[in-house]
């Protein structure tokens, strides 16, 4: 048996002994009295009675050894500023921020909404909350006032912290007017708004009595030190709303001790990044990856974390690789969407950099199609490691675990269950485990491992119904389709609500998308099922090309090529009824395809909740294409 197999078996068969050992990776002010309490399923408590603190583990603990090592490097190609902070610098700034929070009467257990782009102060704010036991809820800076208001009403914060503005591709987006609008819309607006200004939007008027300027408060608190608040392991550390790809976002609640232990362990076993080494995640702090692998994970692991604000193509498509070279990045983490953006540019933007320190590129967040994986592999010549997780899990559930003994990468598969994850694939109807090479629903057998969500904020019933109410047996449903091959590699086949039924054949839209994308001219494809009188449903493709064109003949040639490709690889049933070529596809702010809205539009229905839509133009593109008619079909 491999090291992985031994460790995984132990984590499943003797979870308490296994996690008791893992718990030693972090500092406990008071050691746990009980490793696991599973007396009230599906709720579980890890490290009961233990007292610890995320901020202490991320910063204070490292000071004796790493005070002068870089902890956080915040690079912005929007403001053209780079902030390099050592662990000592981070200690100072986070303490000052914590002192500012105290001045604004933020107490242990209070919620704090953070609405900021990828700037160093966003990390200071999160860590400062963790230090004093306040519960942060970071709302992605790109969200509109409505999204923010909904999250404010759910979290009922004592304080909202925002930047004066964000910037995207050089275009300044003032945040204050959005915050004002959200506060006006919200039922329970926060009594104070703390504004961290970068001088991007100096004109913004302050609301007297409510708005506070951080620079002023920072000057007043000076180099104050704020003692760490020791929290019981299961107290909430933060709330984070899911991307909302499938509907109303859920307020995922995380604990303290279990999360810290899971991150410490995954930094080593999954990401193979040791103290003193450098990790660069291109995520936004507003997403789960940003929480776990831009802020808490690398810092708890004593690593250097790179935080990047800006487009991956500005000043040119080599910027991320230039940073890898400059800071000696070992572990890089990004998303398939981002790589598809780079794929539109010359590989030389990557190849011209010295990437000898770079060991891996991890990708997560959505299916990694083979053409994209192969393209980036050819460009980098480093392992491309697909890993599967959800906001709910907080850290990867499936990967090839390069930090243990790396299993060979198999394109299309994120790999194997991580330590502590007892997963199986079951039949949707019967709930019985399916044999190898058979599609089913991916489930986790509870108790969920440390690091995974503890509940939905203020809504235990929704937690149970959303995740545990699908089968007779008490199982956590991932709501994703999966299949396991003979060697135990798991493949994700899309979401359980992304299945179409063509003349009695159930087809995953993901499989058709994969096939469409393998056609060379295609940059990205979305496949949906559209009602059809004869067949029930038929597959319809929306695709972007690597080289945009308005030339109808070129468009229909490409569309025809896609159709033939699908027919050849998946058979006539999967043959797309219609193909529409567009210049952009509608996605959520986190880069996931909004198939739900596409499908509604294609059927002439209301596209539904568009609050998480990233680019309104993409939706207009689709409407225009529908009006114009398909490029083939």
Binding site for ligand ATP (CB under 6 A): 242-247, 249, 364-368, 386-391, 414, 478, 480, 492, 495, 590, 592
Report the candidate in 400, 481, 396 with the shortest Cα–Cα distance to residue 434: 481
- Smaller CB distance to ligand ATP: residue 364 or 559? 364
- Smaller CB distance to ligand ATP: residue 291 or 495? 495
Reading across the β-sheet that carries 476-484, which strands appear in turn?
A: 423-426, 440-444, 476-484, 490-495
- Smaller CB distance to ligand ATP: residue 186 or 252? 252
CA distance 415 to 566: 26
Q: How far is the CB of 601 from ligand ATP (least distance, A)?
A: 18
- Smaller CB distance to ligand ATP: residue 386 or 614? 386
Q: How far is the CB of 388 from ligand ATP (least distance, A)?
A: 4
Where b means 16+ CB within 10 Å and e means fewer, 560-590 reads ebbbebbeeebeeebbbbbbbbbebbbbbbb
| DSSP letter assigned to residue 617 | H
Angle between the N-to-C axes of helices 15-22 and 3-13, in degrees from 0 to 180, rounded to the nearest 10: 110
- Smaller CB distance to ligand ATP: residue 521 or 585? 585
Q: How far is the CB of 226 from ligand ATP (least distance, A)?
A: 32
Q: How far is the CB of 520 from ligand ATP (least distance, A)?
A: 23
Q: How far is the CB of 110 from ligand ATP (least distance, A)?
A: 25
CA distance 514 to 487: 22
Q: How far is the CB of 498 from ligand ATP (least distance, A)?
A: 9
E strand map for 2-96 = 34-40, 43-48, 51-52, 70-76, 81-86
- Smaller CB distance to ligand ATP: residue 368 or 401? 368
State phi, psi for 467 to the nearest 5 degrees.
-110, -30
Label the pairing between strands 251-254 and 238-241: antiparallel
Element (H, E) at 88: helix 87-103
| DSSP letter assigned to residue 294 | I
- Smaller CB distance to ligand ATP: residue 268 or 609? 609
Q: How far is the CB of 392 from ligand ATP (least distance, A)?
A: 6
- Smaller CB distance to ligand ATP: residue 233 or 269? 269
Q: How far is the CB of 492 from ligand ATP (least distance, A)?
A: 4
- Smaller CB distance to ligand ATP: residue 134 or 376? 376
For residues 378 and 244, the answer to whether their CB atoms sit within 8 Å is no
Question: What's the chain's length in residues?
Answer: 633
The tokens for 496 are: 């359980």
- Smaller CB distance to ligand ATP: residue 196 or 380? 380
Q: How far is the CB of 147 from ligand ATP (least distance, A)?
A: 12
For residues 412 and 517, the answer to whether their CB atoms sit within 8 Å is no
CA distance 305 to 279: 5
The tokens for 603 are: 């059927």
Q: How far is the CB of 399 from ligand ATP (least distance, A)?
A: 9
For residues 133 and 141, the answer to whether their CB atoms sit within 8 Å is no
Q: How far is the CB of 150 from ligand ATP (least distance, A)?
A: 13
- Smaller CB distance to ligand ATP: residue 249 or 586? 249
Question: Which residues does 32 contact at the CB level (< 8 Å), separation at least 6?
Answer: 20, 23, 47, 48, 49, 50, 233, 257
Report the candidate in 448, 388, 447, 446 with the shortest Cα–Cα distance to residue 417: 388
Rg of the chain taking only CA atoms, in angstroms: 24
């Amino acid at each position: 048996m491999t090291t992985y197999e031994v460790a995984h078996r132990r984590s499943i068969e003797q979870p308490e002994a296994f996690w008791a050992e893992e718990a030693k990776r972090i500092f406990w002010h008071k050691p746990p009295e009980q490793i696991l309490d599973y007396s009230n399923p599906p709720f579980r408590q890890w490290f009961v009675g233990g007292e610890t603190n995320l901020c202490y583990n991320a910063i204070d603990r490292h000071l004796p050894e790493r005070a002068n090592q870089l902890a956080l490097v915040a690079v912005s190609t929007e403001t053209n500023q780079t902030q390099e902070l050592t662990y000592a610098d981070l200690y100072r700034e986070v303490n000052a921020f914590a002192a500012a929070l105290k001045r604004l009467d933020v107490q242990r257990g209070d919620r704090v909404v953070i609405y900021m782009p990828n700037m160093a102060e966003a990390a200071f704010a999160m860590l400062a909350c963790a230090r004093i036991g306040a519960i942060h809820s970071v709302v992605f800076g790109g969200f509109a006032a409505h999204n923010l208001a909904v999250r404010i009403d759910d979290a009922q914060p004592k304080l909202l912290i925002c930047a004066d503005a964000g910037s995207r591709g050089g275009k300044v987006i003032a945040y204050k007017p959005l915050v004002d609008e959200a506060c006006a819309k919200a039922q329970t607006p926060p009594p104070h708004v703390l504004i961290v200004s970068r001088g991007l939007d100096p004109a913004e008027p302050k609301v007297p009595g409510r708005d506070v300027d951080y620079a002023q408060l920072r000057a007043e608190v000076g180099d104050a030190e704020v003692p760490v608040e020791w929290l019981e392991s299961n107290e909430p550390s933060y709330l984070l709303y899911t991307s909302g790809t499938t509907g109303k976002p859920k307020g995922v609640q995380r604990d303290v001790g279990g999360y810290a232990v899971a991150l410490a362990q995954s930094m080593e076993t999954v990401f193979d990044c040791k103290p003193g080494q450098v990790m660069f995640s291109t995520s936004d702090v507003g997403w789960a990856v940003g929480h776990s692998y831009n802020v808490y994970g690398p810092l708890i692991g004593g690593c250097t974390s790179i935080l990047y604000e800006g487009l991956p193509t500005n000043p040119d498509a080599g910027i991320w690789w230039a940073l890898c070279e400059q800071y000696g990045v070992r572990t890089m983490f990004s998303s398939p969407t981002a790589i598809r953006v780079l794929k539109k540019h010359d590989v030389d933007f990557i190849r011209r950099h010295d990437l000898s320190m770079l060991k891996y590129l991890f990708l997560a967040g959505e299916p990694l199609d083979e053409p994209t994986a192969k393209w980036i592999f050819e460009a980098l010549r480093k392992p491309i490691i697909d890993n599967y997780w959800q906001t709910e899990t907080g850290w990867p559930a499936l990967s090839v675990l390069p930090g243990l003994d790396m299993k060979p990468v198999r394109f299309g598969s994120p790999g194997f269950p991580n330590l502590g994850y007892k997963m199986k694939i079951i039949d949707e109807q019967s709930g019985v485990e399916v044999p190898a090479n058979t599609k089913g629903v991916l489930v986790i057998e509870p108790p969920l491992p440390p690091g995974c969500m503890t509940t939905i904020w203020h809504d235990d019933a929704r937690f149970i119904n959303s995740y545990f109410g699908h089968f007779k047996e008490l199982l956590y449903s991932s709501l994703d389709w999966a299949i396991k091959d003979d060697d135990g590699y798991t493949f994700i086949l899309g979401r359980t609500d992304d299945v179409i039924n063509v003349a009695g054949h159930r087809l995953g839209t993901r499989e058709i998308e994969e096939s469409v994308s393998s056609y060379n001219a295609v940059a990205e494809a979305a496949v949906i099922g559209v009602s059809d009188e004869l067949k029930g449903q038929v597959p319809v493709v929306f695709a972007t090309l690597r080289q945009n064109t308005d030339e109808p003949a070129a468009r229909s040639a490409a569309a025809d090529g896609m159709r033939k490709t699908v027919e050849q690889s998946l058979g006539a049933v999967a043959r797309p009824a219609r193909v529409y070529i567009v210049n952009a596809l509608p996605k959520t702010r986190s880069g996931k395809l909004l198939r739900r809205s596409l499908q509604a539009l294609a059927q002439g229905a209301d596209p539904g909740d568009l609050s998480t839509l990233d680019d309104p133009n993409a939706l207009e593109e689709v409407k225009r294409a529908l009006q114009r008619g398909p490029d083939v079909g």
